[in-house]
Amino acid sequence: QSVLTQPPSVSGAPGQRVTISCTGSSSNIGAGYDVHWYQQLPGTAPKLLIYGNSNRPSGVPDRFSGSKSGTSASLAITGLQAEDEADYYCQSYDSSLSGNWVFGGGTKLTVL
Amino acid sequence: EVQLVESGGGLVKPGGSLRLSCAASGFTFSSYSMNWVRQAPGKGLEWVSSISSSSSYIYYADSVKGRFTISRDNAKNSLYLQMNSLRAEDTAVYYCARVHGSSWYDPFDYWGQGTLVTVSS
């Protein structure tokens, strides 16, 4: 059971918009810690996609956007493309005794 | 170009030990905090350990505390993970990852390709 909760899977047709939620608690996202998002294409290492809740690293298309509110965060992907099919993970810091960095369980995006 | 290359993975029996290495290049290694993150087969990402740039601050996930030791050699641009008392549940691909900036809370902006550790008799 991950500290951050993500839906196991989402899907959408090419060109559509999808969102992936990431729900935390008062010891991580709700405590004000930033949320970061990673994309993991099949068989490859994770890649930083969104940092600081809503910022895109250089080279990441503006089709990807992030937001945060309260104890949750969301990743939105517009204009879905076949190459977006991947696993997506949210990450935040947790101030509880048991944790430091925590990841969501991951969401598999399928482009129909 | 930033590069992180892990090595040292392999097959080890339960209770055994293994030392992972991560060779860094393309940036000033001594200026960045580093992490180990693992991914069990077919599972999600799990943070394992963090070390600050000068090794002053070190943290571990509860699942590895007391068994794993993170270290670094800034002169050799290398990060290490000494893994002792290995268990089947430690089987995973282990990634080293760089922290983006000077804040402990910055994201992991570069990742290695990973090295597979299999714990089995």
What is the DSSP code string of chain A? --SBB--SEEEE-TT--EEEEEE--TTTGGGT---EEEEE-TTS--EEEEBTTTBPPTT--TTEEEEEETTEEEEEE-S--GGG-EEEEEEEE--STT-SEEEB--EEEEE-
Q: If pLDDT is split at 50, 70 and 90, which confidence band does A99 have?
A: low
Question: Is A97 a residue whose pLDDT tops 80?
Answer: no
| Mutant choice from A90, A93, A101, A103 vs B, greatest count of B C-beta within 10 A | A101
CB contact under 8 A, B114 and A36: no
- pLDDT higher than 70, residue B20: yes
Q: Please, which residues bridge with residue B50 across strands?
A: B35, B59
Which residue type occupies A21? S
How large is the average pLDDT for residues A69-94? 97
Does the beta-carbon distance from A48 to B46 stay under 8 Å?
A: no
Closest Cα of chain B to A54: distance in Å? 12
CA proximity to B36, closest of B3, B1, B72, B2: B72
Tens digits of per-residue pLDDT, B21-68? 999 999 999 999 999 999 999 999 999 999 999 999 999 999 999 999
CB contact under 8 A, A91 and B62: no
SS3 state at A88: strand
Q: A50 pLDDT exceeds 90?
A: yes
Q: Is the Cβ pair B111, A45 closer than 8 Å?
A: yes
**pLDDT confidence of B118, banded at 50, 70, 90?**
very high
Write the DSSP symbol of residue A56: P
Using CA atoms, how far residue A65 sits from A70, A76, A102, B5, B62, in Å, is: 17, 5, 21, 30, 32
Q: Inform me whether the C-beta atom of residue B69 falls under 8 Å from chain A C-beta atoms.
A: no
- Mean pLDDT, chain A, rounded, equals 95
Q: Which of A57, A89, A98 sits opposite B45 (nearest CB)?
A: A89
Mean pLDDT of A72-93: 97
Q: Do A103 and B114 touch (CB under 8 A)?
A: no
